[in-house]
Chain A
């Protein structure tokens, strides 16, 4: 199982300097991927812009949207943006896509959230055609950036199995990941797709004296849209090396191919501390 680290684009007080430095340290560290989240009506950096910035100061680490909310974006531009980022980073992009969970992002974008699932399906069908046809460049090296799909519904899993190379889970304890992964594998074989999907997981962490409280506060704020569930997510923050090690072991046992751990505090020291745990 590969282990990646999140780029802090949504925690508070992130300067451009911190972001660059974070990306460089991750590139130098034992991490496979730098992941970014996506939302509109929130104080965070836009994911493709942030990854493009990270691409400019890194050379090795892979770059992943986890996940970009596809129906908020024009399909041709989304395909072009992803192809551009992939080209400028030397083919390092993993494109995670989903419909997202927040009505406010749709409202803020002036896009009707009804029918978003169907529109997302159409986008998935179109994106790889766009890359292959070559009319809207840059044309990526075949077969193009790896596309992964997130979401927990049966619809999402069927779209994943039809059009994507794998599944991106939205977070939770290893048991929750294992349940979702089993369904993703089932959808894949039920639709008659040969081989196996890539399985990606994510988690949250805060390491070091006094960071647990701040991390929990961030998660409560970030997940306020889920109502009382935000408390549960905050309680799941990994705040000790032991908790992270257990979490990693649980995900590995559940068949995860790549696990990306996202910071919950804006502190450069987090990269080093996480690196120590996973080395």
Chain B
């Protein structure tokens, strides 16, 4: 076999030496446009797992690499004049230059041909090669040449970042958060030998502009960052190496091979630097490709096998990297957090580390967080660390009431079965404020009989120790449907009732057309909600939840997709919220106890509610006396693009809670205590809906 490898970075060199070692009679050529000693970037990080793979793949280089490593097990977080250290995270780092030198030497010793300062303009140059390996990075020639077959999807991230080196000696992976007049800046720094570290500075684009960094020279950028991080740098300097401010791009490609061409490392995929896995993934690619070539006589089968093995692995890292980068893009949202919660949120940002994982790595930190969380929950003094329950089993105070734990259950028709699970809060099924506000003929209406039922059920649930919230709503255009045991949103053929909505748009193609609500209808519904709240007050309930979500009557006013009104109830968000807030105001007068409001934070459809609007809505609900927002997603319109991934409504809850400053309930297929504890301790919600039916 004859191999032509483009790019002498870690993946290209490592592939070359492994291929040559596997079959010394093969010809392996590596071409690189830069000279052998030119390096860009400073240090690279590996996990223990990657080291194991390197040891098994080539013991000689592993030994050399091992001798040059910096090892550490701590993460330091500098935030609001405090430093929090978390232990138990094993990292190893090595200078990129040292790593490349080791790999180059080994390549030469094995007989790999290395051609530096060789700029390739056309892959036709390698016509005689049996396999062309593109290890030439995200903007490389190989990827560009066969772009139509690889089908790339590139996401450019909104923040600016720059790679510096520093002579600051570190013994931990270090995050620094510093706010100045220009904005919030953060540092990702890690050591790679006893004296030197990689020092990445990241900030939002507007902060970068305000700081004048757009037009700054490398020296100016260094001076700015040295001054900004002077307390942590302690007089040490930052060093540049083609250090330019750029935006990170996440690259995904449907395929990594075409004919006799295959991609490795950054040429195949990238993952945001904040999880430090680029070189690790690249070198693991090299190992997998050489293994696949050894296993298969057939090149096509080998390349296919390589891709099948690596793609799922890389996708998992890319997902974690996207969560992580999103955290850093929005970190100013958490700038008011207690440092302990801030640290927990940072450490669990990518979702790869949860409450349980962190407990295994750093039990002391988790004890500290638990202790702080429990003290805050019970209003006890925030002092010494003491044994405390995990966040899920702390009480939540809302108004004069205390919910005994942080789990909420969305009950079906059997309220008491839900209470027997021991959840702190049981939210009833949808109960209509009026006869014609029912969803189906089976939907309960808050009439005398229902009030009697509720009163006795609530008494029994209180004895079991849970709190109860009554969910009140009006179905609007989603009314007059068949019982949901026969399907959802299937219109009644007989015995239906007349529907009304913000605008006359049927919910499904075969559903009845609702009439547009008049001013009188609006006044009437506001009154009906208030009367229902008054009626509920006599039932011993602990809270009310107003359903302003899921395409029902009130939600229909909120979304621009379903509100086409030209009066004062349509148009701007302020107008679209007028009727919902009138309902809230009227209920607030009639109901003194805690008031929850359920909203669809996204319509999951083009032209629907924006995430920014969902935050504004949260702030309006808070200003009008709402106590808690229950964030759900979708169902605004019949045809939408839902995303049912795990924890799907948690990001909306996180945003509303931390940007609008109102407590939230998170939902979206939360199935384990570990998820609940992670969400609560990280400050992404105050209560969680545990989805027991979806967990099996």
Contact = CB atoms under 8 A, between A and B. Distances in A.
| Chains A and B form a bound pair | yes
Interface of A: 117-118, 121-122, 125-126, 128-129, 132-133, 143, 153-155, 157-158, 161-163, 182-183, 185-196, 227-229, 231-232, 235, 255
Given A228-B258, A228-B307, A231-B301, 11 more contacts: A128-B487, A129-B490, A155-B642, A186-B691, A187-B644, A188-B694, A190-B634, A190-B635, A192-B488, A227-B255, A235-B301
A136 to B, nearest CB: 15
- Of A125, A155, A186, most buried by chain B (CB within 10 Å of CB) is A186
Contacts of B638: 121
Contacts of B643: 154
B493 A129 contact: yes
B374 to A, nearest CB: 31
13 contacts: A125-B490, A129-B493, A132-B493, A155-B642, A161-B488, A162-B490, A163-B487, A163-B488, A185-B696, A188-B694, A190-B669, A227-B254, A235-B304
Contacts of B635: 190-191
B383 to A, nearest CB: 42
B488 A125 contact: no
Interface residue tally of chain B, by bracket?
35 or more
A235 to B, nearest CB: 7
Nearest to B633: A190
Contacts of B488: 161-163, 191-193
Given A189-B693, A189-B694, A231-B300, A183 B645 contact: yes
B487 A232 contact: no
Interface string B277-305: 00000000000000000000000110011
Contact of A186 (B149, B412, B490, B694): B694
A208 B265 CA distance: 40
Contacts of B489: 162
Contacts of A118: 639
A183 B305 contact: no
Contacts of A235: 301, 304-305, 308
A193 B644 contact: no
Interface of B: 149, 254-255, 257-258, 300-301, 304-305, 307-308, 412, 430, 484-490, 493, 508-510, 604, 634-635, 638-646, 648, 669, 691, 693-694, 696
B138 to A, nearest CB: 20
Nearest to A163: B487
Contacts of A185: 693-694, 696
B639 A121 contact: yes
B414 to A, nearest CB: 10
Contacts of B604: 154
- Sorted from nearest, which 4 A-B pairs have the closest CB atoms? A154-B642, A231-B304, A183-B644, A186-B644
Contacts of B691: 186, 189
Given A232-B304, A235-B304, A182 B639 contact: no
Contacts of A231: 300-301, 304
A192 B427 CA distance: 14
- Of A153, A155, A190, A232, most buried by chain B (CB within 10 Å of CB) is A190
A46 B308 CA distance: 33
A154 to B, nearest CB: 4
A129 B641 contact: no
Contacts of A183: 644-645
B411 to A, nearest CB: 12
A154 B300 contact: no
B696 A255 contact: yes
A118 B487 CA distance: 17
Given A155-B639, A186-B669, A189-B691, A228 B484 contact: no
Contact of A194 (B412, B430, B645): B412
Nearest to B639: A118
A139 B48 CA distance: 65
A125 B509 contact: yes
A232 B487 CA distance: 36
Contacts of B255: 227-228
Contacts of B307: 228, 232
Given A153-B641, A228-B257, A182 B694 contact: yes
Contacts of A194: 412, 484-485
Contacts of A128: 487, 490
Given A126-B510, A155-B642, A189-B694, A143 B486 contact: yes
A225 B664 CA distance: 46
B175 to A, nearest CB: 32
Nearest to B693: A189
A117 B638 CA distance: 12
B254 A228 contact: yes
A227 B694 CA distance: 34
A125 B643 CA distance: 22
B103 to A, nearest CB: 30
A157 to B, nearest CB: 6
A161 B669 CA distance: 15
A150 B126 CA distance: 45
Contacts of B412: 194
Nearest to B485: A194
